Chain A
Amino acid sequence: MQYFLTLERFLRFLKQNPQYGPPMIAGSAGVLLVLVFVGYWFHKYWYLLLKSLTRNLLRTGLSALAVFVLAIVVTLVWTILVVLDVVMTEKAKDFKAIVTERWQVPSRMPIAYAPSLKEGAASKPGDLKPDDNMSWQFYGGTLDPEKRTWENTLFFFAMEADKIIPMMDDLENLNPVYVKRLMENKQGAILGRERLKRLNKGIGDRFTVVSMSHKGIDLEFEIVGEFPAGRYDSSAVMNGNYLVDAMDAYPTTHNGAKHPMADKSLGLVWFKVPDSDAFSKVAEQIMSSSLYTSPAVKVETASSGIASFLEPYKDLLWGLKWLLVPALLVTMALIVANAISISVRERRTEMAVLKVIGFTPGRILGLVLGEAFLVGGASGLLSAAVLYGAIHVGMGGFPFQIAFFPKFDIYVDSLWWGFLFGTITSLAGSIVPAWSARTIKVSEVFAKVA
């Protein structure tokens, strides 16, 4: 299913490699020219097709509308399925791995694990160190302990500020100034726009969090940045060392007693490796190390880790993929089949006349299929374009929480999905009536007319 994001990946590749831009534009222009030439070569047929479709605008419009609305749902559902499939698919290279507590969730490891885990537990010559790394702790609390609500509750990812852009997905558009501020201000926090809205705060505001996850460690923050619109709209990031320092200082104000979370504060460690062999090597280093026994840890690829969290949704996703989407596509095909059947039935005499004039059965078949292709393709493409504009451009994604995916964005590939779904279902639906049109017997038609 990852091929369904080909265009998105291609555009990202172009963005990162602008030197390929001009040749790509030239190539695209060439393809477009060829299409225009082909279109002009067959313009007589396009003319016939359009005339047929416009003979009854009401009915053509209704068929197109039906395909349009159904394609909207298909595109939305397909977006969810494709995105989740991509994140759960193992990559061949440049992938990320995570280290978490082995036997339970939430993962709670001692912070003391972090330094060596980030190095991949490399301890002897020949051991491999990851290309990059990041650690996560989780800190949560409320801004109003007297009246705790969803609006004033906040959960932070506590991490190394300089690792945000290189290690986290989909943050290429994060303003580096915000990251710099976070690095310079230990009390800094970067929040997503929906989180800011819920807290009724903006960049520059300060607030105190009364912790629920780390009782007794209440921290003060200053908002230094905002995440770009998209999957981090509800997220909040803080400096990991701010929490670590606060935990370290706890005994000094609590008669030397360690904080109950002192040995449980580390959530997970990410690391980047070049390929699967490197991953296996680093994983083996960590799993065989005697440093991580209480609690034990496990190493898995990011896709595998994400897949575990999506495990409870497997039946739901199965239902979406194998029940809902096929049902939608079949409904689209049925509606087009119905419309084209009616149209062919009404035009039997007309088609008989075309045959008398000299249209071959194949051409008649092509005409009917062409009508379905136009209606389905145009409706599918238009619906995808409307979705793309409304959701990607207008909303930055549609909210539908699955595990830790709070929203899903519509990718530019949806334009060709919409076209594809529309044309395939329309062609499938119109095969039978088109064949029936192809096999019209002229003598029978004119006998009835007489």
Chain B
Amino acid sequence: MHSNLAISPRLIMILGAGLAVVVIAFVIGKVPISYNIRNLTIRWKTTILTGLAFTLVVSLLTVMLAFVNGMAAMTEGSGHPENVIVLSDGATDESWSTLLKTDLSDVDRVKGILIDAEDRPLCSQEVYIIASQTKKPGPGQPERRRFVQVRGIDDPSIAAQVHGIDLLPGGSWFSEAGVEGLPKADGKEQETAVQTVIGEGVARELGKDLHKERLQPGDVFELGPKKWKVTGVMKSSGSTFGSEVWAKRSYVSLLYGKETISTISLRTGGAETAKAVATELTNNFKKANLQAQTETEYYAKLTATNKQFLFGALFVTVIMAFGGIFGVMNTMFAAISQRTKDIGVLRILGFGRRQVLVSFLLETMLIAFTGGVLGCALGSLAHGVTASSIISGGQGGFGKTVILRLVVDANTLAVGMMLTLVMGVAGGLLPALSAMRLRPLESLR
């Protein structure tokens, strides 16, 4: 799972190198830093305007990267390296996969599949449906639909062990029957509801229809032609199962007319065993053409949308960074033109060209650093915010609608600070070079 506190070693190195350069410049620079700080405070309006630009760019980058992180965490958190996912040959994702049950009787006998305490192979045959549900429209709003991922499973205890899913306290898995009667309304016939356990994300999403923060065990909602009753909420934050509705496979197949199996999920003894099982099923299973892979491989392929978002985020950030760079360059050129006499005096007193360069570069870095820190702080407010998105392999198929949490981790903040430092250097270098080149005598005229 994602660790919020760990920074990747490469980022540490780059950030460390950048900061080291700044610190060295600070140490070797002879012009007192109080000179730069006081100039910034005297021109506080300009300083704030320039710093705010940095704050906006960095905070936006932080939020965008938090979104991408959330998507990555979702796909990483969904796949267990020791699990194998089996689809029909040629299917790009579960929604296109069709396997005949009669062809699958020997799948759970493949060597390497774990057995549970009751001597049952950890093999879950599942049917996967993307259900279309009408959303309750707001006042004056047109009717809209949402897609809800429904997974039909035979045995919740097997499925829970295979996928490593527990329920939040207060809930229970659905019964063997998979349905229960609802309280009879006056004058109406008794209705039955499909028992279901739902993910945390979809509990929040469907809760909006009932004006609740989220659905709890006992709540009833409509999906398809039936009512569904929540018996439990899966502890599934950070995985795609958080966006799913699970019910008895027989009812799901009946309701949606899908008699075939979409997916078989298998738990093995370890990552290497999983690879061996996947290879065995793909190459040597005779009864049907299977496409087996480890779950980590499967979910890694669903990152096409995430890569696109990341590319988009970086593109926007680079463009915005250029805007910020030109802005700070403008500010510093103006500052230098107003302080040419100061520069002349410093040079006459004996301060070298490089010291003048370092002084003005540090001034820019001060603005950049302060703006960047504020930007990271502002962007960090997005941590934990939920958002809907879609993950897909980009090769046809509908992908999976997921409810993810934005993740602002140490890497994100490190990237934000790197960006601000790069912007500071890029924006401040040319003006500082021009300050360095001023001839003392000319600058005093």
Asked whether the complex places CB atoms of A and B closer than 8 A, the reply is: yes
Contact of A315 among B131, B257, B305, B389 (CB under 8 A): B389
Contact of A106 among B67, B91, B143, B398 (CB under 8 A): B398
Contact of B338 among A312, A324, A346 (CB under 8 A): A346
**Residue A450 CB within 8 A of the other chain:** no
How large, as a class, is the contact surface on chain B? 35 or more
Pair A73/B334 contact, Cβ less than 8 Å: no
Pair A311/B144 contact, Cβ less than 8 Å: yes
Pair B256/A341 contact, Cβ less than 8 Å: no
Binds A, one of B52-60, B357-365, B412-420: B52-60
Pair A342/B334 contact, Cβ less than 8 Å: yes
A58 touching B333 in the complex, CB below 8 Å, given contacts A104-B129, A295-B257, A335-B326: yes
Quick one: which of B298-317 are within 8 Å of A by CB? 305, 308-309, 312, 316
What is the CB-to-nearest-CB distance from B103 to chain A, in angstroms, rounded to a whole number?
A: 13
What is the CB-to-nearest-CB distance from A23 to chain B, in angstroms, rounded to a whole number?
A: 37
Pair B323/A70 contact, Cβ less than 8 Å: yes
The complex places the Cα of A260 from the Cα of B88 at a distance, in Å, of 14
Interface string of A53-72 (1 = CB under 8 A from B): 00000110011011101101
Quick one: which of B345-395 are within 8 Å of A by CB? 387-390, 394-395
In the assembled complex, which residues on chain A have CB atoms less than 8 Å from the CB atom of B142? 90, 304, 307
Contact of A401 among B50, B57, B144, B305 (CB under 8 A): B305
Interface string of A214-235 (1 = CB under 8 A from B): 0100000000000000000000
The complex places the Cα of A327 from the Cα of B224 at a distance, in Å, of 41
**Residue A155 CB within 8 A of the other chain:** yes
Interface string of A417-441 (1 = CB under 8 A from B): 0000000000000000000000000
Pair A341/B395 contact, Cβ less than 8 Å: no
Contact of B333 among A62, A67, A101 (CB under 8 A): A62
In the assembled complex, which residues on chain A have CB atoms less than 8 Å from the CB atom of B333? 58-59, 62
Pair A331/B146 contact, Cβ less than 8 Å: no
Pair B330/A339 contact, Cβ less than 8 Å: yes
Most chain B CB neighbours (cut-off 10 Å) among A66, A153, A300, A330: A66
A328 touching B320 in the complex, CB below 8 Å, given contacts A311-B147, A319-B67: yes
**Residue A102 CB within 8 A of the other chain:** yes
Chain B residue with Cβ nearest A102: B132
Pair B130/A104 contact, Cβ less than 8 Å: yes
Pair B49/A338 contact, Cβ less than 8 Å: yes
Pair B129/A315 contact, Cβ less than 8 Å: no
Q: Please report A residues at the B interface, Cβ cutoff 8 Å.
A: 58-59, 62-63, 65-67, 69-70, 72-73, 77, 90, 101-106, 140-142, 148, 150, 153, 155, 212-213, 215, 260, 294-296, 298, 300, 304, 307-308, 311-316, 319, 323-324, 327-328, 330-332, 334-335, 337-339, 341-342, 346, 400-401
Q: Please report B residues at the A interface, Cβ cutoff 8 Å.
A: 45-46, 49-50, 52-53, 56-57, 59-60, 63, 67, 89-91, 95-96, 98, 129-132, 142-147, 224-225, 255-257, 260, 305, 308-309, 312, 316, 319-320, 322-324, 326-327, 329-331, 333-334, 337-338, 387-390, 394-396, 398-399, 401-402
Q: List 7 A-B contacts (CB under 8 A).
A: A304-B142, A313-B389, A314-B388, A319-B67, A331-B53, A334-B53, A346-B338
Given contacts A69-B322, A105-B95, A304-B145, 15 further A-B contacts (CB under 8 A): A69-B323, A69-B326, A102-B132, A104-B224, A140-B396, A212-B96, A260-B260, A307-B144, A315-B387, A316-B387, A323-B63, A335-B330, A341-B45, A401-B305, A401-B394
